[in-house]
């Protein structure tokens, strides 16, 4: 029968399985945001919390699953954060403008980088590929829901909110991907996204705010 290696730190308190699993998950999230999904390794997580790799392996035997779960936790939290940001908007037009500003802002760069990692690593990590699909669907449903609310309120005119949601997310993802590798500045191109959204939603030019664009460097 195999045994679980104890915490190597002198005088360290033995933690419950639930506490240790939570510690491993928290360490993985910290590593992901600092170093990307590639940084989530047995040795990396073990070093972060000061235990042996064997102990990490006991609580999380599959690093592919840990990577996938970490990605999912961070992206799901971001959706929650954005939802809170938009909750104070009195109209859906204002909420959409705020959404565009937020997703193309510098504060979202760490999560954008994780999306790029996930799209790439998902080719070889089945669990991650599945989670990428789940989270992409969640974002599409979130944006589509905002558009549908705007239609119901008489603010937007659009026949297929689902398709427009995918279109907007595709443009935003592309601009953010460019910015991650320092090709242009996504924030300076918010006007481009606003212009597309206004056209697709039957809004007057400028309804979502300034539409001035800046060419990419």
Helix 42-49, helix 17-35: angle, nearest 10 = 110
Same domain, 147 and 217: yes
> What are the respective helix, strand and coil percentages of the chain, to the nearest 5?
70, 0, 30
Same domain, 56 and 73: no
**Mean local confidence (pLDDT), 137-161:** 97
DSSP one-letter code for 204 = P
The answer to whether residue 10 sits within a structural domain is no
- Widest CA span in the chain: 70
pTM given for the model: 0.84
Same domain, 41 and 87: no
38-52, 120-134, 153-167, 172-186: least confidently modelled range: 172-186
Concatenated DSSP letters for 206-217? TTTS--------
Give the C-alpha separation, 172 to 13, whole Å.
46
Same domain, 54 and 72: no
């Amino acid at each position: 029968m195999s045994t679980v290696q104890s915490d190597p730190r002198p005088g360290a308190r033995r933690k419950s399985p639930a506490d240790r699993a939570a510690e491993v998950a928290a360490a993985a999230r910290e590593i992901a945001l600092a170093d990307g999904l590639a940084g989530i390794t047995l040795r990396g997580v073990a070093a972060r919390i000061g235990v042996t790799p064997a102990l990490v392996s006991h609580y999380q035997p599959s690093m592919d699953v840990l990577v996938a779960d970490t990605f999912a936790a961070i992206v799901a939290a971001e959706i929650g954060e954005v939802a809170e940001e938009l909750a104070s908007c009195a109209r859906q037009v204002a909420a959409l403008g705020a959404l565009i500003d937020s997703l193309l802002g510098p504060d979202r760069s760490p999560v954008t980088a994780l999306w790029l990692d996930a799209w790439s690593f998902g080719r070889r990590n089945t669990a991650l590929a599945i989670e990428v699909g789940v989270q992409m669907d969640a974002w599409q449903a979130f944006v589509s829901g905002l558009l549908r609310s705007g239609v119901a309120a008489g603010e937007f005119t659009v026949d297929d909110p689902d398709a427009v949601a995918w279109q907007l997310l595709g443009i935003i993802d592309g601009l953010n991907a460019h910015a991650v590798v320092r090709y242009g500045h996504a924030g300076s191109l918010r006007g481009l996204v606003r212009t597309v959204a206004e056209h697709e939603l039957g809004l007057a030019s400028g309804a979502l705010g300034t539409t001035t664009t800046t060419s990419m460097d």
